């Protein structure tokens, strides 16, 4: 296995469009890195540049310390799992997995050993004689994975490998991939637009937008300390509530005012907001940090009460989501399924202000978490 | 509900029948009826005019001992096999070139298709002039069309030149149906150059190979126009194809019944060759 280094990597197409801009990232050996972002953000392009399937138009890519910008894909010692699996339709499962080894002139006995071991890991032993057309989506996905494993590459690249599977199988395969990473100790770069996949699989996540890397961090840090409005909105489902609020100062305390509501900011966050007094900022609060009055609990630093009217109630099982109007904005909140609140009710909510995020309205960068 | 559906169904059936029956009548009149008539005449000594007698299978027996007929079969199969292989190899190479990232791709595809829209007789006469006057003027040798040994090569060149147009288009379609990500997976696995063609491209375009092999073989076995335009079966009957012999001796040589028997044998042979080819090549095809 190996580490990777991307230094000022960029992709500019002949028509002038820049797919990836100044991408800098150090990927350590055995790391599970996730590239996440909306469609067209450049995550797949970056992965394909690492694979050698797209030319790098600027910057340097190193694998194991060696510059590989101009190295052929086959000589980069990487394996890739494609979104549509890209299995060879005319070969059996066994031949699909053995093919890269055959081309590398590995001895037949060795090929057999490697392929059967990969098949055992992925529970494909009974399918070895079948062709891809006789397999289900999940089985094809496992064969694609097996082909990558059999290669024993330095780096695994995975381009939205679960996106063609149904929801149940996706959850199952997600766990399989996680186990596989632990078992193989492999360096994996994984592209997805599904933030749940990103949060559950990655040791670090790279959030991208419009070809620009927004933030690289661990899943928990990315969730609790998003560096800007985009990351805050993209990571987390349902997404963070954003409310335009004016920063004020009263009795030595910093406040955020929206409509007729005022929230006092805790002292730990006040200093960062002082330069913004009199200005409009964007306050961000996750739905689970908006507390409905039936659920007020000890141990949380709650804001002043805010009047809201519930417009939508969604029961999710053990919990429920409510969406409501407040003076000066709209808000969503997680509540317990036993909470009696329903659509049309006038309720009071409060923010857990320790979890309050504030963003600069102009730069959209985080001011304080 | 059920009666409404039945009424709609019956109305549709009438429309389908109104479309189908005239075509069926025309097909039977100009295809099936002549075929059956030809089959009947193959058991007669008809000269194509006047009275005739039914002579059983005598024509069929005579065919197998007729050196001229056997020579025409040998010539036709030689041309068909060589031309089918040459057409498919050249067309596949052209298709790969025309499917790659090159400039003026669409224009080049159009140019390579031109031979398909030219009449075979026109092409035959042009090439006849080319082989009779231009090539000898350049090489200083006698025309290839005058050689009993090499005239067949000239026929092959012309039929291949013309057949490549359509064959190339079919291969281009086949190549475009191979998923790009399979090639990408191949490039990561080490399948580049010849390995890419051998292990990925060729197996995945087998449906196109089957179609082309069968169609081209059938066309080549029926080679006729080019012979009429270039050699009239000569020199010394060395380029006499089966179709040409059937036409020439059947319609103007007083062997109508005899050549009808030849045509029946030829029909059966083409059908057998096409079925065998399809069966063999289908077994090599893969479901994409």
pLDDT in tens, B255-277: 999 999 999 999 999 999 989 98
CA angle A184, A189, A191 (to 5 degrees): 130
Closest residue of B to A144, CA-based?
Answer: B185
Closest residue of B to A105, CA-based?
Answer: B190
| Chain A interface includes B187 (CB < 8 A) | yes
Closest residue of A to B196, CA-based?
Answer: A103
Query: What Å distances lie between residue B125 and A64, B65, B118, B132, B149, CA to CA?
Result: 66, 34, 12, 10, 21
Q: Among B184, B187, B189, B197, which would you mutate to test the A interface (most chain A Cβ atoms within 10 Å of its Cβ)?
A: B189
Interatomic CA distance for residues B87 and B109, integer angstroms: 16
- Do the strands A32-36 and A187-192 form a parallel or antiparallel pair, or are they unpaired? parallel
Number of residues assigned to chain B? 288
Would you call A99 and B179 a contact, using CB atoms and an 8 Å cutoff? no
Helix axes B256-282 and B242-251, enclosed angle (nearest 10): 160
Would you call B188 and A52 a contact, using CB atoms and an 8 Å cutoff? yes
Would you call B286 and A131 a contact, using CB atoms and an 8 Å cutoff? yes
Would you call B195 and A103 a contact, using CB atoms and an 8 Å cutoff? yes
What percent of chain B lies above the pLDDT cut of 90? 78
Query: What phi, psi does A128 have (nearest 5°)?
Result: -60, -30
Interatomic CA distance for residues B272 and B280, integer angstroms: 12
Shortest distance between the Cα of A88 and any Cα of chain B, in A, equals 6
| Chain B interface includes A105 (CB < 8 A) | no
Query: CA A241: distance to chain centroid?
Result: 19
Shortest distance between the Cα of B183 and any Cα of chain A, in A, equals 8
**Residues of B numbered 166-185 whose beta carbons fall under 8 angstroms of chain A's beta carbons: which are they?**
179, 181-182, 184-185
Query: Taking chain A, what is the end-to-end CA distance rounded to the nearest angstrom?
Result: 37
| Chain B interface includes A151 (CB < 8 A) | yes
| Chain A interface includes B193 (CB < 8 A) | no
* Residue of B190, B191, B286 with shortest CB distance to A89: B286
Shortest distance between the Cα of A72 and any Cα of chain B, in A, equals 8
Residues of A in contact with B199 (CB under 8 A): 88, 99, 103
Number of residues assigned to chain A? 369
Query: What phi, psi does B182 have (nearest 5°)?
Result: -70, -40
Q: Are the beta carbons of B231 and B244 closer than 8 angstroms? A: no
Shortest distance between the Cα of B202 and any Cα of chain A, in A, equals 10
Would you call A73 and B188 a contact, using CB atoms and an 8 Å cutoff? yes
| Chain B interface includes A14 (CB < 8 A) | no
* Intervals of CATH 3.40.50.300 along chain A: 4-234
**Which two three-digit tokens encode residue A165?**
């599977």
SS3 B191: coil
**pTM, rounded to two decimals:** 0.82
Interatomic CA distance for residues B193 and A72, integer angstroms: 12
Query: CA B157: distance to chain centroid?
Result: 14
Residues of A in contact with B192 (CB under 8 A): 72, 74
Q: Are the beta carbons of A244 and A258 closer than 8 angstroms? A: yes
The pLDDT value recorded for residue A297 is 76
* Residue of B189, B199, B288 with shortest CB distance to A89: B288
Helix axes A93-103 and A137-151, enclosed angle (nearest 10): 20
Sheet of A346-351, strands arranged across: A290-292, A346-351, A306-315, A319-326, A329-336
Query: Taking chain B, what is the end-to-end CA distance rounded to the nearest angstrom?
Result: 42
Q: Are the beta carbons of A304 and A262 closer than 8 angstroms? A: yes
Query: CA A30: distance to chain centroid?
Result: 18
- CA neighbor of B244 nearest in space, from B151, B118, B162, B129: B151
Interatomic CA distance for residues B142 and B150, integer angstroms: 11
* Residue of B181, B189, B286 with shortest CB distance to A103: B189
Residue B288 has pLDDT above 70, yes or no: no
| Chain A interface includes B287 (CB < 8 A) | yes
Interatomic CA distance for residues B66 and A270, integer angstroms: 110
SS3 A147: helix
Interatomic CA distance for residues B217 and B278, integer angstroms: 11
* Intervals of CATH 2.40.50.100 along chain A: 241-368
According to DSSP, residue B261 is labeled: H
Closest residue of A to B288, CA-based?
Answer: A89
CATH topology of domain A241-368: OB fold (Dihydrolipoamide Acetyltransferase, E2P) (2.40.50)
Which residues have C-beta within 8 Å of that of residue A164, sequence separation ≥ 6? Answer: A83, A84, A85, A137, A141
Query: What Å distances lie between residue A77 and A183, A202, B255, CA to CA?
Result: 20, 22, 72
Query: What Å distances lie between residue B220 and A121, B48, B78, B209, B263, CA to CA?
Result: 54, 27, 10, 16, 16
Would you call B200 and A88 a contact, using CB atoms and an 8 Å cutoff? yes
**Which two three-digit tokens encode residue A187?**
């360096």
Interatomic CA distance for residues A156 and A169, integer angstroms: 21
Q: What is the number of other CB atoms lying within 10 angstroms of the CB of residue A93?
A: 28
Shortest distance between the Cα of A134 and any Cα of chain B, in A, equals 10
Q: What averages of pLDDT result for each successive group of 10 residues across chain A (369 residues)? A: 88 93 94 94 95 95 92 92 92 95 94 93 91 91 91 91 85 87 89 90 94 95 95 92 94 91 92 94 95 83 92 92 89 92 93 95 95
Interatomic CA distance for residues B87 and B155, integer angstroms: 13
R_g of chain A computed on alpha carbons? 25
Interatomic CA distance for residues B182 and A140, integer angstroms: 14
Q: Among B179, B188, B196, B204, which would you mutate to test the A interface (most chain A Cβ atoms within 10 Å of its Cβ)?
A: B188
Interatomic CA distance for residues B25 and B35, integer angstroms: 14
Would you call B188 and A51 a contact, using CB atoms and an 8 Å cutoff? yes
Interatomic CA distance for residues A82 and A64, integer angstroms: 23
Q: What is the number of other CB atoms lying within 10 angstroms of the CB of residue A320?
A: 18
* Residue of A89, A99, A131 with shortest CB distance to B189: A99
| Chain A interface includes B142 (CB < 8 A) | no
- Residue indicated by tokens 């450049």: A42
CATH 1.10.10.10 fits A4-234, yes or no: no
pLDDT (mean) for B154-161: 96
Q: Are the beta carbons of A217 and A33 closer than 8 angstroms? A: no
Interatomic CA distance for residues A34 and A197, integer angstroms: 9
The pLDDT value recorded for residue B225 is 93
Sheet of A18-27, strands arranged across: A18-27, A4-12, A58-63, A66-67
The pLDDT value recorded for residue B138 is 93
Residues of B in contact with A78 (CB under 8 A): 188
The pLDDT value recorded for residue A355 is 94
Shortest distance between the Cα of B194 and any Cα of chain A, in A, equals 12
Residues of B in contact with A147 (CB under 8 A): 185, 189
Would you call B190 and A100 a contact, using CB atoms and an 8 Å cutoff? yes
**Which two three-digit tokens encode residue A229?**
């409005």
Condensed to tens digits (0 to 9), the pLDDT of residues B81-114 reads: 999 999 999 999 999 999 988 888 889 988 888 8
Residues of A in contact with B182 (CB under 8 A): 86-89
The pLDDT value recorded for residue B3 is 65
R_g of chain B computed on alpha carbons? 24
CA angle B187, B176, A86 (to 5 degrees): 40
Q: What is the number of other CB atoms lying within 10 angstroms of the CB of residue A330?
A: 13
Shortest distance between the Cα of A73 and any Cα of chain B, in A, equals 5
Condensed to tens digits (0 to 9), the pLDDT of residues B59-71 reads: 999 999 999 999 9
**Band of pLDDT at residue B54, cut at 50, 70 and 90:** very high
Residues of B in contact with A99 (CB under 8 A): 189, 191, 199
CA angle A152, A205, A177 (to 5 degrees): 40
Strand partners, A331: A324
Between B3 and A38, the more confident residue is A38
Shortest distance between the Cα of A99 and any Cα of chain B, in A, equals 7
| Chain B interface includes A81 (CB < 8 A) | no
* Chain A with chain B: Cβ pairs closer than 8 A: 68
């Amino acid at each position: 296995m190996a580490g990777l280094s991307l230094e000022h990597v960029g992709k500019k197409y002949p028509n002038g469009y820049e797919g990836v801009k100044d991408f800098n990232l150090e990927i350590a050996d055995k790391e599970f890195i996730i590239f996440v972002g909306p469609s067209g953000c450049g995550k797949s392009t970056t992965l394909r540049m690492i694979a050698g399937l797209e030319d790098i138009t600027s910057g340097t890519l190193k694998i194991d310390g060696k510059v590989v910008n101009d190295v052929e894909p086959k000589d980069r010692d990487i394996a890739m799992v494609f979104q549509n699996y890209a299995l060879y339709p005319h070969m059996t499962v066994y031949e699909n997995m053995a093919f890269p080894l055959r081309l590398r002139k590995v001895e037949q006995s060795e090929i057999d050993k490697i392929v059967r071991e990969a098949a055992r890991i992925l529970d494909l032993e009974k399918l070895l004689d079948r062709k891809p057309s006789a397999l289900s989506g999940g089985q094809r996905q496992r064969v694609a994975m097996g082909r990558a494993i059999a290669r024993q590459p330095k780096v695994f690249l995975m381009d939205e490998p679960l996106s063609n599977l149904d929801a149940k199988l996706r959850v199952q395969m997600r766990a399989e991939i996680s186990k596989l990473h632990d078992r193989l100790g492999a360096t994996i770069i994984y592209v997805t637009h599904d933030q749940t996949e990103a949060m559950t699989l990655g040791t670090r996540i790279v959030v991208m937008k419009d070809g620009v890397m927004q933030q690289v961090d661990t899943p928990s840090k990315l969730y609790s300390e998003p560096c800007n409005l985009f990351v805050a909105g993209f990571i987390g489902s349902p997404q963070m509530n954003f409310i335009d609020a004016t920063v004020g100062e009263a009795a030595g305390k910093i406040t955020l005012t929206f409509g007729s509501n005022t929230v006092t900011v805790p002292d730990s966050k006040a200093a960062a907001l002082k330069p913004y007094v009199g200005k409009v900022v964007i306050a961000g609060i996750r739905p689970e940090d908006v507390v409905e009055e039936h659920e007020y609990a000890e141990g949380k630093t709650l804001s002043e009460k805010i009047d809201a009217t519930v417009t939508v109630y969604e029961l999710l099982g053990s919990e429920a989501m409510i969406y409501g109007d407040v003076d000066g904005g709209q808000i969503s909140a997680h509540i317990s399924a036993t909470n009696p609140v329903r659509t049309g009710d006038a309720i009071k909510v409060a923010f857990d202000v320790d979890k309050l995020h504030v963003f600069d309205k102009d730069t959209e960068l985080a001011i304080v978490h | 509900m059920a009666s409404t559906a039945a009424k709609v169904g019956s109305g549709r059936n009438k429309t389908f029948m109104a479309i189908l029956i005239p075509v069926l009548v025309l097909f039977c009149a100009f295809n099936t009826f002549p075929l059956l008539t030809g089959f009947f005449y193959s058991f007669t000594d008809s000269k194509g005019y006047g009275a005739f007698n039914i002579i059983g299978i005598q024509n069929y027996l005579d065919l197998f001992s007729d050196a001229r007929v056997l020579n025409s079969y040998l010539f036709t199969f030689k041309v068909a096999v060589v031309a089918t292989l040459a057409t498919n190899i050249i067309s596949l190479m052209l298709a790969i070139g025309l499917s790659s990232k090159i400039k003026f791709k669409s224009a080049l595809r159009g140019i390579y298709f031109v031979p398909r829209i030219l009449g075979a007789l026109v092409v035959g006469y042009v090439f006849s002039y080319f082989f009779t006057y231009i090539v000898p003027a350049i090489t200083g040798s006698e025309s290839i069309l005058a050689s009993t040994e090499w005239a067949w090569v000239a026929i092959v060149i012309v039929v291949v030149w013309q057949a490549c147009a359509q064959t190339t288009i079919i291969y281009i379609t086949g190549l475009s149906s191979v998923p790009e990500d399979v090639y990408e997976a191949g490039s990561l696995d080490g399948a580049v150059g010849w390995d890419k063609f051998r292990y990925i491209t060729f197996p995945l375009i087998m449906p196109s190979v089957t179609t082309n092999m069968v169609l081209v073989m059938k066309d080549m076995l029926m080679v006729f126009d080019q012979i009429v335009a270039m050699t009239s079966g000569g020199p010394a009957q060395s380029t006499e194809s089966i179709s040409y012999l059937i036409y020439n001796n059947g319609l103007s040589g007083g062997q109508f019944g005899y050549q009808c028997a030849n045509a029946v044998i030829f029909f059966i042979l083409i059908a057998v060759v096409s079925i065998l080819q399809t069966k063999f090549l289908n077994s090599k095809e893969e479901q994409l």
